[in-house]
Structure 1
Amino acid sequence: MSSDSIDSMPNNRDSRPARGDADALRKLLGREIGSTRWRIGDKLPTERELGDTYGVARNTVRRALQVLEQEKLIIRHVGRGTFKAGDAISAEAAFLPSADSLSPAGVVECRLIFEPELAPLAVARATQVDLDRLAHCLRGGNAATSVEDFEHWDGALHEAIALATHNQTIVAMARALAVVRTRGEWGQLKARSMTTEHREALQAQHGAIVASLSDRDRDAARMRLRDHILYVRRYMFGE
């Protein structure tokens, strides 16, 4: 956690959500996470501390944190705590005119130029929290039981690589490119092309990328990222 202690967090009674109002707490915490109070990778207060600060029960805190995790603002590790994953910024609004203007093929082409070059920064700057986040995403992909679940963890892993660079512009650009995953056209392409063989190959590639980053091997990480995206382009678009 950064130098700001829990005592410095807003705790006046007027700012507190009603007891049991998880959505109000989520909005309050979302604003805190989107501010400069915590840096990416910083540990947030415990559920008990947040409950005491905002005057709510722990199950209310837990529900609020679950939504924040789904929104990719935090990442939670059992036994270790909750960490800031990114700022509450609309990357699409900052960098792109409209999600509808993006084509899946065009985005994959941009990723091929952009993502392999993140490897040197991620290797140089990744903290243990970043490496744990990558491992968490890899485990999620292994456990996925549907194309939708696998696609979620696939996207989360690539975002985790961007987060490991600790460069906010890179993170925002990566999120902007990832907007295409929310479009129906991308989902249809994935559903048509995602065979068991392709999924196994993708996950093996993910494992090799994470291993290279964990080993601090920037050349191998760069090469494996490039080969991975080339593979995606071939099986989705036949290029």
Structure 2
Amino acid sequence: MGRSTKAVLADLRNVVEKLAPVAGDRLPSERELCALLECSRETLRGCYATLETEGEIWRHVGQGTFRGSRPVHMPIRDTLLVEGATPPDLMRARLLLEPQVAAEAAVKADASDILHLRKKVDECRAARDRAACEQADDAFHRAVAETSRNPVLVGFLIFLSGARRRVAWQREWDRTYRSIAPNKFQTIHSDQHDAVVDAIAAADAMAAASAMKAHLKAIEAAMSGKATG
């Protein structure tokens, strides 16, 4: 199950040509293809996303995967989009959305919200390993969204949280966490969270958006290997 995505993708292209040569032909099930290609479902789905982007295949829930371009009346599934998202895709989406969520939280927050957010920051500081650190970080960002009192924004954050559980993000997060001394990583991370909460507590929407943007830009820089200090 340790084959590279590039190798699996090359073999999958050959399988598609052989087993589904005509547009509309259905491919074997994921289980069968994983066994044939000797790969995990995560890897297979990532390859599917590439082929779907190229118009080589399309997928329909409950019916399977088919050769050719998606019929115009078939919508693209959001889960497939997440499976194909790269870490830079996700960071860009977060930078577009989360500063505005923080700004809205600054407008809506009350005293109990601030206490809850402070607690989430403390949990981030207390995290003892990478998994706990990411779980606490995810809980903090969700708490900010919940403070906005807007269920649509919360839904978007939950969607992005799901994307963060994909293999590509986890691999980059792990590399970033290990490339910086864990204590330093968590201290910087939590200090940035504190700055967001301070702005929300001051009911300063502009400062909250700015603090969240600075925090996410720092993560982006760290994940790309361009972090300073």
Same fold per TM (> 0.5)? Answer: yes
**Structure 1 equivalent of residue 190 of structure 2:** 203
Which sections of structure 1, spanning at least 5 residues, go unmatched? 1-94
Which sections of structure 2, spanning at least 5 residues, go unmatched? 1-76
**Structure 1 equivalent of residue 79 of structure 2:** 97
* 3-state DSSP of counterpart to 1:216: coil
| Deviation readout 1:20-75 (Å, 9 max, x if unpaired) | xxxxxxxxxxxxxxxxxxxxxxxxxxxxxxxxxxxxxxxxxxxxxxxxxxxxxxxx
| Deviation readout 1:169-213 (Å, 9 max, x if unpaired) | 111011111112212222221121112233322111111111111
* TM-score (normalised: structure 1): 0.57
Shift of 1:116: 0.8
| Deviation readout 1:124-156 (Å, 9 max, x if unpaired) | 111333222211211111111001111111111
Q: Which structure has the greater CA radius of gyration?
A: 2
**Structure 1 equivalent of residue 28 of structure 2:** none
1:7-156 to 2 correspondences below 5 Å: 96-98=78-80, 99-156=82-139
> Equivalents in 2 of 1:103, 1:130: separation in Å?
33
**Structure 1 equivalent of residue 202 of structure 2:** 215
Shift of 1:229: 0.7
User: Is 2:100–2:209's contact at 8 Å kept on the other side of the alignment?
Assistant: yes
1:170 aligns to 2:153 (yes or no):
yes
* 3-state DSSP of counterpart to 1:203: helix
Amino acid in structure 2 at the alignment position of 1:136: K
User: Is 2:124–2:186's contact at 8 Å kept on the other side of the alignment?
Assistant: no
* 3-state DSSP of counterpart to 1:166: coil
* TM-score (normalised: structure 2): 0.59
Amino acid in structure 1 at the alignment position of 2:175: R
Amino acid in structure 1 at the alignment position of 2:157: A
User: Is 1:103–1:180's contact at 8 Å kept on the other side of the alignment?
Assistant: no
> Equivalents in 1 of 2:97, 2:135: separation in Å?
20
**Structure 2 equivalent of residue 181 of structure 1:** 164
**Structure 1 equivalent of residue 5 of structure 2:** none
User: Is 2:125–2:187's contact at 8 Å kept on the other side of the alignment?
Assistant: no
> Equivalents in 1 of 2:176, 2:83: separation in Å?
22
> Equivalents in 2 of 1:188, 1:228: separation in Å?
20
User: Is 1:126–1:165's contact at 8 Å kept on the other side of the alignment?
Assistant: yes
> Equivalents in 2 of 1:120, 1:152: separation in Å?
23
User: Is 2:105–2:200's contact at 8 Å kept on the other side of the alignment?
Assistant: yes
Instruction: Provide the identity percentage.
Output: 24
> Equivalents in 2 of 1:96, 1:237: separation in Å?
26
User: Is 1:130–1:163's contact at 8 Å kept on the other side of the alignment?
Assistant: no
Q: Which stretches of structure 1, 4 residues or longer, exceed 3 Å deviation after superposition?
A: none
> Equivalents in 1 of 2:166, 2:103: separation in Å?
31
* 3-state DSSP of counterpart to 2:79: coil
